[in-house]
């Protein structure tokens, strides 16, 4: 059987704690979930016939992005230059199963700081907004219809995919669990 075709139809993002008054569902123009990419090292043995990129059981720095129309006080406050207080960025999405028409919730929680704000150049004939990047990401989780698809936490050395703890043995071998 073919996998379900789930398309993301609508999104919302809360910058900081989930306060219903701070919803960005009207201003949010785009939400870029972070790229999940392995850290690799190249190895070319002295007598080997070629080079191999070996995975190092780690992922590269996560760099999610979002764009808000106009000006948003909450995102400028989250920039926190000098204070750098990490915040939770909580995103919700409406996923639609295109075969059945059923709707599901997608949810992401990202902990970090706004590390970049790039205002658009003003043009009266175009929408004005601000591109944002979330940096210093130390926590990321993604769930679909209440099923955990991905969970990663820097400080607890945890990484799970679909409930499978990929770093459990490593924590034991490192003496931290």
What digits encode the pLDDT tens for the residues 36-90?
Answer: 999 999 999 999 999 999 999 999 999 999 999 999 888 888 886 667 789 999 9
Which residues are registered as beta bridge partners of 164? 161
> If residue 170 lies in a helix (H) or strand (E), which one and from where to where?
helix 168-173
Averaged over 13-18, what is the pLDDT?
82
Helices within the chain (DSSP H only): 73-79, 168-173
What digits encode the pLDDT tens for the residues 97-138?
Answer: 999 999 999 999 999 999 999 999 999 988 899 999 999 999
């Amino acid at each position: 059987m073919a996998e379900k075709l789930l398309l993301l139809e609508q999104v919302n993002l809360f910058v900081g704690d989930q306060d219903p008054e701070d919803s960005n569902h009207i201003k949010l123009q785009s939400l870029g979930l972070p790229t999940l990419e392995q850290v690799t090292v190249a190895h070319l043995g002295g007598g080997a016939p070629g080079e191999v990129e070996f995975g190092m059981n780690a992922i590269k720095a996560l760099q999610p992005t979002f764009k808000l129309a106009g000006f948003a006080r909450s995102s400028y406050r989250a920039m926190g230059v000098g204070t750098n207080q990490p915040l939770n960025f909580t995103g919700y999405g409406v996923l639609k199963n295109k075969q059945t028409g059923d709707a599901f919730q997608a949810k992401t929680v990202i902990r970090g700081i706004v590390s970049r704000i790039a205002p658009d150049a003003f043009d009266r004939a175009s929408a004005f907004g601000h591109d944002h990047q979330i940096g210093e990401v130390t926590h990321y989780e993604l769930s679909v219809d209440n099923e955990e698809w991905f969970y990663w936490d820097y400080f607890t050395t945890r990484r799970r995919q679909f409930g499978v703890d990929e770093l459990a043995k490593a924590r034991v071998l490192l003496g931290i669990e």
